[in-house]
Amino acid sequence: MRVGGRGLPLLIALTLLGIAAPAGAEDGAGFGVRDGVVDADAGSHTPGSGGSTSDGAPSRCTWRVVIADDLTKGVFGPSGERLYSDTGRWLQKVCDGEVEIVDGLFVIPEGGSFAIADLLEQARRTLDPPDPTWSASPNGTTVPMVTQLPTWLWVDGDYWHGGFSARASTPSGRVWAEARATPTSALWQVGDGSTVFCGAGTAWQAGPQANSSDCTYTFRHSTAGTAGTPLSVSVTFDVAGVTSLGGTAELGALTRTSPPALVQVAEIQAIESNGR
């Protein structure tokens, strides 16, 4: 193949000068390009069409593998982003011995091309943790919460440790990106305008002191005579991206909020009896 452009000798000379010690470089998988000629006459399953010569005779076109594994050879988008085909192979169409540019491209991705940033974005969009589930003690439904006493609040462990993730990949799964959500905080709206900012909280168990949780709220007013006070929790996640290539990425944060649940708060009346 002839290579267009200016100063090919310069390219070759400078490239060779720049190779200080190729023998010390990492051994690779070797070369499969020359042996990888794909016989792909016009109309075959390979991309593009064969076309014809100027005299109307059908041209003999083949697809040859220029990049056998795009993990070990770079193919780039116009902004410098790495591109990966579904199979790892990139093909070049050769008709009657001449390279044919297809849709402005020298090489065509086998099975489509994919950029990691796009896969990460797709995974991030797909990631959809459910609304949080939570508990309280007292629970405010079967047993009312009590004014002046701390109510324990916690996000259910199965939810907090749910390990929510979403993956986007090439059709073959050869290259993939995954968005993983890690909960970092919980913000409780307790219905009277107050908020409580916590981590997961601590599930109540019989025994510990009532104030041993790091996530409690003490109601000051009874809900007697009302439908109750709406209680909800918003869990915020840090979203991290990981890829099959070993890279990581920060994908921001997302929040999920439970639907408000009406809870009852009771007041325990005490009658002081003059010291008796």
Partner 1 sequence: MAANSAPVANPDSPLLAEVATGDALGDLRAEASERRDAGQAVRAASPNVGEIRVGFVQVSGATASLSVCRVDDSVVYELATGNVANATVATQNYTLELALVDGQWMVSGVTQVQRWEGVAGCALADADFPY
Check residue 35 for interaction with partner 1 (CB under 8 A): no
Stretch that binds partner 1, among 27-35, 236-244, 248-256, 268-276 (CB under 8 A): 27-35
Other Cβ atoms within 10 Å of 199 Cβ, number: 14
Check residue 78 for interaction with partner 1 (CB under 8 A): yes
**Quick one: three-class SS letters along 188-205?**
EECCCCCEEEECCECCCC
Stretch that binds partner 1, among 14-22, 49-57, 178-186, 233-241 (CB under 8 A): 14-22
Lay out the sheet containing 150-155: strands in order across: 134-137, 150-155, 216-218
Based on CB atoms, which residue is closest to partner 1, 56 or 80?
A: 80
Instruction: Report d(CA 272, CA 30) in Å as an integer.
Output: 91
Check residue 73 for interaction with partner 1 (CB under 8 A): yes
Other Cβ atoms within 10 Å of 75 Cβ, number: 17
Based on CB atoms, which residue is closest to partner 1, 27 or 158?
A: 27
Check residue 163 for interaction with partner 1 (CB under 8 A): no
Stretch that binds partner 1, among 17-25, 126-134, 147-155, 250-258 (CB under 8 A): 17-25
Size of the site for partner 1 (CB under 8 A): 49
Which helix (H) or strand (E) segment holds residue 158: the answer is helix 157-160
219: Cβ–Cβ under 8 A, 6 or more apart, which residues? Answer: 145, 146, 147, 148, 151, 190, 192, 229, 265
The CA-atom distances, in angstroms, between 232 and each of 10, 223, 247, 262 are: 68, 16, 36, 9
Stretch that binds partner 1, among 19-27, 189-197, 230-238, 253-261 (CB under 8 A): 19-27
> Which of 270, 148, 150, 271 minimizes the C-alpha distance to 221?
148
Residue selected from 67, 120, 155, 233 as contacting partner 1 according to rule CB under 8 A: 67
Contacts to partner 1 from residues 227-256, by CB under 8 A:
247
Stretch that binds partner 1, among 7-15, 49-57, 214-222, 225-233 (CB under 8 A): 7-15
Instruction: Report d(CA 89, CA 85) in Å as an integer.
Output: 6
Residue selected from 43, 58, 74, 157 as contacting partner 1 according to rule CB under 8 A: 74
Helix (H, G, I), strand (E, B) or coil at 263: strand
The CA-atom distances, in angstroms, between 159 and each of 137, 200, 236, 264 are: 18, 10, 12, 24
Check residue 31 for interaction with partner 1 (CB under 8 A): yes
Check residue 275 for interaction with partner 1 (CB under 8 A): no
Q: Binding string, 90-109, against partner 1, x = CB under 8 A? A: x-x------x-----xxx--
Residue selected from 49, 52, 53, 72 as contacting partner 1 according to rule CB under 8 A: 72
Asked if omega into 183 is within 30° of 0 (cis), the reply is no
> What is the binding site for partner 1 (CB under 8 A)?
1-16, 18-19, 22-23, 25-31, 33-34, 66-67, 72-82, 90, 92, 99, 105-107, 247
